[in-house]
Amino acid sequence: MAEFEPVLTARWGDPEAVTIDGYLRTGGYQGLRKALRMAPEEVIEEVKSSGLRGRGGAGFPTGTKWSFIPQDTGKPVYVVANFDESEPGTFNNRELVERDPHQLIEGIVICAYAVRAHTAFVYTRGEFVWPGTVLERAVAEAYDRGFLGKDILGSGFDLELVVHRGAGAYICGEETALLESLEGYRGQPRLRPPFPAVEGLYRSPTVINNVETLSCVPHILDRGAAWFASIGTKTSTGPKIFSISGKVNRPGNYEAPMGTTARELIEEYAGGVREGRRVKAWTPGGSSTPFLTADHLDTPMDFDSITAAGSLLGTGAMIVLDETDCVVDATLRFTQFYAHESCGKCTPCREGTWWAARVLRRVEHGLGRMEDLDLAFDIADNMLFKSFCALADGAASPIQSSLRFFRDEYEEHVRLGRCPLRAEEHPLLEAVSDRTGGATGRLAQVLPEGREVELGEVLR
């Protein structure tokens, strides 16, 4: 913790850093100056040898992605920065732009130069009214000072940058749905292949990268690939911003080398669990990554170690539940999220998320049957790797992992006929369980006709 010098968040303490003058004063646009003196292919090589892997969730090597862009199609090349950040628990892109927007712009210009693109977009989450405004102001400054527009810094390289605002749809973070949305259609994923590198925006070669990924790029060019690769682990290089939230004392974004253990991040960076409680469950990379438990806290937070532990590094968003929190309830809420955000294009996801939410809801509220646990697992199984895009795989993650690690807790819900941890019961259930001393199983006996149906409606 002591010897690591923040890279991506180095300017966060400096309120001036959002302005171009503040950015330039602290070494800004030096990476771009270096890049413009290199051949585009050399820039790609540099990013490749830095080992940088995408921070948007999948961890694909960034330099390799750029090298897939064909230059002989006769079509324009596009660069799109994915600033749709909506994965539950993830909030580092927002703060990166709010506090250091030029770092992102510089990364985009370098990327565009490397792949020979002359138009770039930042697809900004609709709800990011303010971060989008910070970015628009920074873009205007960058145009004024010649870091965007025609003949950037006298290099002969031109780049137009457009900030596009989304309109509230998690699925538009998925790269092909994002492209559909940016073209003015419903944000529903496309079949891959062809991959965006070959047929992306307007069926032209397109690079899509996450905001944190692109924010790493200026530093790689400025300080060298070898320096970047010296941070972190062999296969997960560089610094990473971990978004830590839930039941910790100091929730926030914390930058640390890849491979820092979850324990260190939660206990030292985020100040430990509230009220001296213990970690019960946590996600390593947002709601789409399988839950891990207190037994996994010594796992290093890098792509390979977390995969080996049975989860995914995802976006590095750690949502922490303590022993007083109900895992079934958290799983239910995540599942409702996926049911709401499913784009409806394919059956396993559209139907699966909807039904899984219903089954989990009745378990959480004390009307579940033991068979429901296998049923929920099975529904998740019918989504996993059988759907059109990875949203459904993400939806299966909390369901299957919680059933794997916390089956006892599910069974207790069924046995007791209520949530063992919930302070407030659903009003109808409360009245029911008053009459039955806790068991809500035999509804027909305690509810008058009509009421039964009403409750059935609620808990269907």
Ligand X SMILES: Cc1cc2nc3c(=O)[nH]c(=O)nc-3n(C[C@H](O)[C@H](O)[C@H](O)COP(=O)(O)O)c2cc1C
Phi then psi for 281, rounded to 5 degrees?
Answer: -140, 155
Residues of span 88-117 touching another protein by CB under 8 A:
88-91, 93-94, 98-99
Closer CB to another protein, residue 43 or residue 139? 139
Residues that bind ligand SF4 (CB under 6 A): 171, 189, 342-346, 349-350, 387-389, 391-392
Stretch that binds another protein, among 81-89, 144-152, 209-217, 304-312 (CB under 8 A): 81-89
Phi and psi of 362, rounded to 5°?
Answer: -70, -30
Please give the backbone phi and psi of residue 430, each rounded to the nearest 5 degrees, phi first.
-55, -50
Residue 267 in the binding site for another protein (CB under 8 A) = no
CA gap 110, 97 in Å, rounded: 17
Binding partner of residue 305 among another protein, ligand X, ligand SF4, none, CB cut-off 5 to 8 Å per kind: none
**Does 202 help bind another protein (rule: CB under 8 A)?**
yes
Q: Tell me the window of 148-156, 172-180, 266-274, 348-356 that interacts with ligand X (CB under 6 A).
A: 172-180
State the pairing for strand pair 160-165/252-257. unpaired
The separation between CA 382 and the C-alpha centre of its own chain, rounded to angstroms, equals: 23
Q: Cis link prior to 194 (omega < 30° from 0)?
A: yes
166 contributes a contact to another protein by CB under 8 A: yes
Number of residues that bind another protein (CB under 8 A): 104
Interacting residues with another protein between 308 and 327 (CB under 8 A): 317, 319, 321, 325
The strand pairing partners of 119, in sequence order, are 78, 160
Interaction between residue 174 and ligand X (CB under 6 A):
yes
SS3 string, 75-105, reads CCCEEEEEECCCCCCCCHHHHHHHHCHHHHH
Which residue lies nearer to ligand SF4 by CB, 199 or 302?
199
Query: Is the torsion defined by CA of 413, 416, 422, 427 positive or negative?
Result: positive
Shortest distance, position 345 Cβ to ligand SF4, whole Å: 4
Q: Binding to ligand X by residue 391, rule CB under 6 A?
A: yes
- What are the tokens at 451? 């009421």
* Binding range to ligand X, per CB under 6 A, among 84-92, 108-116, 295-303, 434-442: 84-92
DSSP structure class, residue 317? E
Between residues 309 and 376, which has the closer beta carbon with respect to ligand SF4? 376
Q: Which is nearer to ligand X, 142 or 389 (CB)?
A: 389
Q: By C-alpha distance, which of 318, 306, 292, 317 is closest to 405?
A: 292
Helices (H) and strands (E) in the chain, counts: 20, 9
Does 171 engage in binding with ligand X (CB under 6 A)?
A: yes
Q: Is 44 in the site for ligand X (CB under 6 A)?
A: no
Closest among 376, 370, 340, 360 to 459, alpha carbons compared: 360
Q: Does 383 bind another protein (CB under 8 A)?
A: no
Considering the complex, state which of residue 341 and residue 409 has its C-beta at the smaller distance from ligand SF4. 341
Nearer to ligand SF4, 218 or 352 (CB): 352
Helix (H) or strand (E) holding 210, with range, is strand 206-210
Interacting residues with ligand X (CB under 6 A): 54-58, 60, 82, 84-87, 171, 173-175, 208-210, 213, 389-391
